[in-house]
Amino acid sequence: MMNKRFWLILFCCAAAGFALNSCISSPPDYISTAKTRSVHMIVKMSRGDYWNTVKLGAEAAAQEFNVKLTFKAPDSESDVDEQIAMVENAIDEKADVIVLAASSYMGLAQVVDKAAVFNKIPVISVDAEVGSARVSTYIGSNGYEAGQKSAERLIKLLDAHGEIGIINFTSSTENAQSVSSTAIDYGARDADEREKGFLNYAARYPDIHVVEIAYTPSNIANAEELTRQMLNQHPRLRGIATLNETGSQGAAKAIQQLGLKGIRMVAFDSSPSMMELLQDGTVQATVVQNPFSNGYLAIKHAVEILEGIKVPERVDTGTKIIDLDNMLWPENQKLLFPFVR
């Protein structure tokens, strides 16, 4: 009887002690960085300033939130199979989260479903959406709006009349030819949206004619060649709109080399070389996204998903038209030139 009471008292005290302890040592209220998470980030391409800046943002977040970041990208933006293989690989390596910038809207849908449904790996799409309902969140800019902004500026530069050529990009060259005929959209979602936005805006102006849309597999040399062809075929071309970074650089290079001062060009994205072109007047304006934010937020939200924090379904990091006048505004400086140490 005495023994029973003794143990009872002992037990009560121990319990009280534990309660006291657990009360005092409750965890602090911020994203815990105690555990190292493995996040695989797969983007469209290993080259290009745009993706570098995305990577910078991701790395900044990875460092901040104690994430082991595995950054992968195919050599070419059109290499959908390689990208699928990379997602498969990330699944095999048991990534905690996969961050994906899909080169093909439908091409990667299946593998994303596989990761999200069968392997319970959250998938975040960044920059370009993917055709899966299982994606946790999308972080990037609104392509349609970006296209419209580009069109608006170019049409303004051309005083609302003249021929316009578009250099766009998509996943593969073979699909490029049949993009309008096939029901299934194999192109990259962002390219598609931008084009749609541009054309829809341009359609409001009867004197504006979009004479050609060329598709480049994200290769500067190829884009340059396409631009030359376009300029040759359409000698009355007054304006060129490019819808991605490599395309912009290629097109700008062609214009610069041909010395065509009369061509107005609205580019896309903000690489340092694009800034040079902007400053020396080859390019009149560029639509910039927020690659650093995209990379950073993708990783941050990945950690938040792992922590069980609810993340928004869609994060629009915004686009902006930059021209010579506003490129040195302090807030644009900060946006255009990554503060790299």
Partner 1 sequence: MCREKPHFFPLRPQRPLGGTIKLSSKLRSIQLIITVTFTFVAVLVAVLVSFMLYNKFAKTAEENANLNMQQIIEQVNYNLELYAKGMRNIYEKAEAQITLTPDIGAPMLKERMSTLLESREDLVSVALFTPQGELVLNVPGLEMRHNTQLENQSWYTSPRRTSEISFSAPHIQNLFKSKYTWVVSMSKLIQYREAGVLKTGNLLIDFNFGTIDELSKQVKLGKRGYAYILDSLGNIVYHPQQQLIYAGLKYENVEPVLEYAYRSYLDESTGEKRFITVRTLAETGWKIVGVAYYDEIVTTKRDLNQFLSWFLAVVILCVIIVSVLLSARISSPIRKLERTVKQVGEGDLNTPINVSGAYEVEQLSKRFNLMLQRIRQLMEQIIYEQETKRKGELEVLQSQINPHFLYNTLNSVIRLAERGKTDEVVTMIHSLSKFFRISLSKGKNIITVQEELDHIRHYLVIQSFRFKNKFKYEIHAQDEVLQCQTIKLILQPIVENALYHGIEMMPDEGLISIRAELQNKLIVITIMDNGLGMSKETLSTILTGVCKSGTGSGVGVRNVNERIKLYYGREFGISFESAIEEGTTVTLTFPALVSQELDEEKEGGAQE
Q: Name the residues that contact partner 1, by CB under 8 A.
A: 2, 6, 9-10, 13-14, 16-18, 20-21, 24-25, 28-30, 56-57, 60, 64, 272, 275-276, 279-281, 290, 292-293, 296-297, 324, 328, 330, 333-341
Strand runs labelled E in the chain: 37-42, 67-72, 97-100, 123-126, 137-140, 162-169, 208-216, 237-242, 264-268, 285-288, 314-316, 320-323
Position 179: which residue type? V
Q: Of 21 and 181, which CB lies nearer to partner 1 in the complex structure?
A: 21
Positive or negative CA dihedral for 241, 245, 250, 252?
positive
Contact yes or no for 103/80 (Cβ under 8 A): yes
Angle CA(121)–CA(125)–CA(130) in degrees, nearest 5?
100
For residues 66 and 130, give the distance between their C-alpha atoms in angstroms, rounded to a whole number: 27
For residues 242 and 223, give the distance between their C-alpha atoms in angstroms, rounded to a whole number: 10
303 is written with which tokens? 């950690």
For residues 299 and 64, give the distance between their C-alpha atoms in angstroms, rounded to a whole number: 10
* Number of neighbours of residue 259 by Cβ within 10 angstroms: 7
Q: Of 172 and 271, which CB lies nearer to partner 1 in the complex structure?
A: 271
Give least dist CB 23 to partner 1, A.
Answer: 9
Give least dist CB 11 to partner 1, A.
Answer: 11
Give least dist CB 15 to partner 1, A.
Answer: 10
Give least dist CB 204 to partner 1, A.
Answer: 31
Q: Of 56 and 210, which CB lies nearer to partner 1 in the complex structure?
A: 56
Give least dist CB 55 to partner 1, A.
Answer: 12
For residues 100 and 154, give the distance between their C-alpha atoms in angstroms, rounded to a whole number: 31
Give least dist CB 19 to partner 1, A.
Answer: 10
Q: Of 84 and 303, which CB lies nearer to partner 1 in the complex structure?
A: 303
132 is written with which tokens? 């899966």
For residues 138 and 245, give the distance between their C-alpha atoms in angstroms, rounded to a whole number: 21
* Number of neighbours of residue 67 by Cβ within 10 angstroms: 25
Q: Of 272 and 312, which CB lies nearer to partner 1 in the complex structure?
A: 272
Give least dist CB 87 to partner 1, A.
Answer: 27
* Number of neighbours of residue 239 by Cβ within 10 angstroms: 23
Give least dist CB 315 to partner 1, A.
Answer: 11
Residue 224: HSE in the Cβ half-sphere, 13 Å Cα cutoff: 11
